[in-house]
Structure 1
């Protein structure tokens, strides 16, 4: 299991189970989000309603993020993750019932709509704990010297779930309908729970168990603020994703602009998956640690350009290609960012650092969905997407010029130090 072995992390059974859990949950969560987007837009035909879905999830996710980070650092990780998965499963069953015609036929449209929003809000509470718990559990399953390779696989699996879930959602809506798509989502979450059972409980690597929450939170925020590499990476990604949230408007493009229906919607959603697969199968062989800062800037710049092309395109297959490139570049960005976080974060602070990261980046997808929905309502769908892509490109250029040290960031020294551990 040498340092050049692209499959080094995959030689640990518990880590493989962890990847299965992570994929199943990301797949289920992103698929659920898309199915609900489709259902809500079908009910309202209002672009702003798509933004509201993201907003009602992101409010509790951001509000509770720091508290969740403190709890994660104080508690046993496997048990906490099991509770998160069960919470998600209950919410999925609720959405399954709300999309069942036999139940909703006697209810008003507004009651169904607001009930969906409420369950999405509860999902935001679960999500506040889910992300930091997964991030913290990661470090307990594999030796430190394999963190970079493990981060590549973990990020790739996350990216796969994040793009395959929505792609499957598009096809599932067409083939089996919204209601049974929700049933499939609930089943995926239970598969994740059963996989997690196979991982034994892990020790709590926190020398400050019982530390007051206020002091704990201050320490976590201070660490992120003082570690400029982490702060720069997550801030850059947050702004890029915030203004590049065009995928939230895909139901509008599929139904009203490109006029390709549910089948075309599935293809559009699948396009980023192909790009993500490409990154997954190549990044383990071609590590991204060398000149990581410049690679991160170039990846996000490419993401912004892809969004601009997608917004301007009136040709279906050009739109598909633009989304393919957005998936590839976003995958590179995520792998580099996760590698930075894993290498730079001490074990006893992983929950808090992950919670800050979720506030910056994890929630920016939903804020991006709200921004896209709002700007689409105000300035039109196409203009909103192009505006978001331009803002992403401008952010990258500004960051690259203003912070030359970030451009020169290289992670080889950190990898060499970790290779000496364990």
Structure 2
């Protein structure tokens, strides 16, 4: 039986560095989400184009694709704390550039795309380093609790960020600070606070990968994910379900043209999935997933698809918010399970490179998914694009339950249990040949 004393409650917060790191995260994510809302509204105001909204996601995604191998290697070869500091320093300068654009009344989108590419480049390197950094902050027995609290804090920030961004954007200010300018200034302040808190951490992970750089070392993470079917299944299920079913990029269209809710309505729409995810994550901190993790993940991805379809068909702001609540609530279960699988089924020295592959999948599902949503909305219209995407998510859920029996058979979220499922399924496959 799992030890509840080490997997529930607030055990992870016994660590000073974990507390400070999560405070830093909540601040910087609030700022990033507020900034994302301002960028989306600004781009749509300038272009009135669903396709250009999709391009914002594509520009953020491409650096993760280009820098997949070096980003993972950097996270394993250098101190992960230093990598995070360098990447977020770059993002600070990017946000400063966005503020200057707004201050000078920008009326073209290409400078925004240049800055977004640089933001995506920083995220490409900070993502693997941040994911691999968490195990250094807490004892292994508190790790699942740390993952769950990390997801909870992420959702708290996702609730506060878009809502606060919508409020700031619509403040009755005059002059150059009005609209996007005040949002970017706020985001800049959160980035500076984040850097200060990271500098105050005591932990020094150091270099994890001792071997010299080679093609074999660079490709080790990709090969490990490919051969570990329970890990490949978990992250690819999320990739295709969210890639097809994501509707975030189209929310400005729904807020302005379909629901007539304006920037504040957009803030509510963007916050609704986070509220659902927050409710579930708070529940999971005190009642963690104990058994049948794989089956629960598949059920929740199916709920995600159904809720996406309802959102696409809705013409009521209230119904849309309820549907998005369930989108976020169901996705949170998937987030906790796949994040735990990622770290618990990966050797410490390879976590950076494996996390880089994971980050590519996550960014593909989110940012490339935004491009896919914008493209399909330009073809079919926003409503059909969202509905067809939800149907696609349901189809992927059914197919993956057949293709990845190891993931379906995952039970407890412990290194021993996950590896046992991987081994048992492999033995069964060999015996059937």
TM class, shorter-length: over 0.9
- Aligned runs of 1:329-408 on 2, under 5 Å? 329-408=330-409
CA positional deviation for 1:2: 3.2
CA positional deviation for 1:168: 2.4
Partner of 1:56: 59
Partner of 2:175: none
Distance in 1 (CA, whole Å) between partners of 2:140 and 2:259 is 48
Partner of 2:144: 148
Change (3 A) 1:15 1:121: same
1:232 matched to 2:228? The reply is no
- Aligned runs of 1:19-418 on 2, under 5 Å? 19-100=22-103, 103-104=104-105, 109=107, 112-175=108-171, 177-204=179-206, 206-209=208-211, 211-414=212-415
- Alignment check: 8 A CA contact 2:87 2:125 kept: yes
The TM-score normalised by the length of structure 1 is 0.93
- Alignment check: 8 A CA contact 1:160 1:277 kept: yes
- SS of alignment partner, residue 139 of structure 1: helix
* Number of positions where the alignment pairs a residue of Structure 1 with one of Structure 2: 410
- SS of alignment partner, residue 373 of structure 2: helix
CA positional deviation for 1:212: 1.6
The TM-score normalised by the length of structure 2 is 0.90
- SS of alignment partner, residue 5 of structure 2: coil
CA positional deviation for 1:416: 7.8
CA positional deviation for 1:336: 1.1
Partner of 2:431: none
CA positional deviation for 1:340: 0.9
Change (3 A) 1:264 1:348: same
CA positional deviation for 1:346: 1.3
- RMSD of aligned residue pairs (Cα, Å): 1.9
Gaps of 5+ in 1: none
Distance in 2 (CA, whole Å) between partners of 1:4 and 1:216 is 34
- Alignment check: 8 A CA contact 1:148 1:415 kept: no
- Alignment check: 8 A CA contact 2:293 2:411 kept: yes
Distance in 2 (CA, whole Å) between partners of 1:58 and 1:417 is 30
Distance in 2 (CA, whole Å) between partners of 1:38 and 1:56 is 16
Distance in 2 (CA, whole Å) between partners of 1:124 and 1:65 is 12
CA positional deviation for 1:96: 0.6
- Alignment check: 8 A CA contact 1:230 1:344 kept: yes
Distance in 2 (CA, whole Å) between partners of 1:29 and 1:263 is 17
- Alignment check: 8 A CA contact 1:310 1:322 kept: yes
- SS of alignment partner, residue 263 of structure 1: helix
